[in-house]
Structure 1
């Protein structure tokens, strides 16, 4: 430069750390001495979370007040920035942003772009190549249908929840259909205390493991040395966060391990971008096997859910083999049609471990909210999954070559005859040892579990350890005094079959009814109840002897039984 001074330092100047430079003995070319000068210096380059995606108008038609697509950014940090040379990415398409100065609290509108109506991944990158923010959006499952038709923007309620934007999008409540350039209509203060959850693991080449988490991550590189792959104790050569969403951790190891029969991966706890730290992780895996017939089973089918609830198909992995979900596809076939439209279950590697349940559905958040399920890798969103016919149909599970792995039929006639309406009741597989296309290997889910068991053992499954004892209680004397010892009376009915309608009441020795635990409950081969000592009115019962009365009726055969058992209630 002609008029100036370039000063180079041996180390990188930290970003946004105030410094002072003392200039002494500086002279110009004519020998004029610059008096000693103290210069304040601040390196100010954009960093993660300076600006965040705050509003998306992806489908303005039919228009309310706004007729074009737009994105809104919010400047949340305290440092002014210039956006010259910045890039916006919408999926694989890039847009060069205009030169503009932004101040803290500014709203920045981006127009003249194309936003997919059904969802996209968004990322914002500074001219230095720093990822400033990234998120994804999709049509909210719980939004009103009339807003899903178009004309209404998606808003983020709290710009400070940098990691949670993807999970928090909701339709605007503004009567104009959006709030471009001003505070969002659904603005509220949110608190993020949830640590990242490992959803599942996948494989790359012979040396890579990909760990898929529930939210954007912050992984300090000094933790790399604490990662271990056993046997052998290998440490990864590199640990990378996969851009742009940074929800995937790629571990690259110095040796091949994919053919090892068994291996164990230990990963220390680390945080999300808000500082919530996950627990230490130990992940067991091994060589991936080929998906063969009956190596994965169709285990439960919810084909006609209650209004507002999602359909789903549950899979179960018996045996001791590890499989990869990307090797599987599913056909949903209506009666009279052929199986000619396979739907891939995963676009990338996703390991399935023995004993694991997976639930295939169109929207994992919808499934979790409907059935009060915890965040987990058990819930699999399958892109393009068609709806199940509400009265009957067939499901084929195949490998990538089209070879059948399992096959199941379903219909209303397979439900228990006593049911007036099977809507909202899933069909559960009774035995994993029998074929899925046998109608009598399926049964209605029991009422005691809410008529559905997504992601867990079926209520109607046959268990090898079913007791021959029809009525069992433990302990025979219990003490509901909340001391942690024998506080509950456990009552188990081992019917040994399906189609049983159960009644279970407790009386005193005079026959006065104290508590009704089951009134015409639909039960499977084994069902359990508990009594906490309360009567029907909620009052704790006095110390003494009580009688359990159990009855069972099987409408399909006319069988019935009655059992009684005396128990004691004491207070210590």
Structure 2
């Protein structure tokens, strides 16, 4: 087509009217924009005036590579002034003749005009005389005018998918990888039209994750690139502790230094701006701390799941549940689970994939076979999970290899009354007690054979240490009838010495010893023992009154403590 090309000159001089052939670009993806198009020869595109809006590196099953540009300025430019190149090629012109690129419109450049037309019929395009292939493994697209970079996009191979373009999300935001996403259009791309992922950013940044790097340093992660140079120490606070230094680690990541130890639950940052200028007056996020020994422990195990499609019961998947027993939020980055190593020192390993996973106090983490879903807890899946029915070892490690908990379970830990243990989990009774003490484990009474992602059906919670020397029995009476209520009695003692050797027994009212809880063990100032209402042979005892007898001797100071207390064993009817 032909269009009028006007040149405005000062008054008193001749006015030249030139008529030039141009290829007008569609407005908003609609071809055939009517009316004359003015090209202002006095204006050259500046960085950001024209942006790379969509690229199609891997056509499938047919089509052509293409690059779509968007003019986000208020000026009309001549496409003949633009060149483009990739990471390794020299610049080549996008148009061989003068062509108008109007404000608010798209121009599509294609590698193969026939293949493009067959794939996206009716969409206007320009086919440059040269083309630098868009590499599927990652590449750069660099747009220039007169040697000045107008826009550039560097994409990774991991972001490329066959048959789907990479679309710009916000035309006003920088050309960073975070501002591009795979097309969700049914055709896989939107050349010459508004992107399916179009979502202009009109809100300020958010603080998405905070990790305690050590006692005095925090790593802050924002949900988008921010103007890190405009964030000052005085604007960052953990409760009453103010930062003393801020270090930029990336476009959306800061390391913050404090003069004292960081112990608070959350951090707040004031006056945070993204690269588009959207400002958040105040953002905050909980602090996730690095786990230490026994912060996270094994809490529930299903080693022999139901897996028969014809037994009338829902199939299960084996799993190991861990719980955060600490009083603070911990992060799971790099956490992994292993079993016994082989003769070469190698152990089956399942790792937490991804980043920015925090676990609040009392929350659960599941390591499970592939395909398990749980709405109450994050699930880590992997082929190396397999648990042995005859017993196995479960260890959970920090990212540096430090062991956080180590449990070697045995099928004998099931409750003696449970004759068929398939499909029944082992539940830890007391998360603060030993993970390798058989008395601290029992069979679940959950309706589905277990309680993954939920509190154990049989557990001890809400413990209070005795403030002074003595013995305490709770609950009393107790009813070991496997209904999940008061099935276990706790015998808690506080002694006169900081270290003692104890013996703990249970007698009936006739003076007969029915259970030996502890034959001889060194303990600290306080101890908690559990009894399930059975004798030393594992038999259920009759209802009635029993006597807990605990003696502790400190040989260093020749101090003896002897405690006796009644225990009422009852049944529910």
Q: TM-score range by the shorter chain?
A: 0.3 to 0.5
**TM-score of the aligned structures, taking structure 1 as reference length:** 0.46
Structure with higher Rg: it is 2
**TM-score of the aligned structures, taking structure 2 as reference length:** 0.46
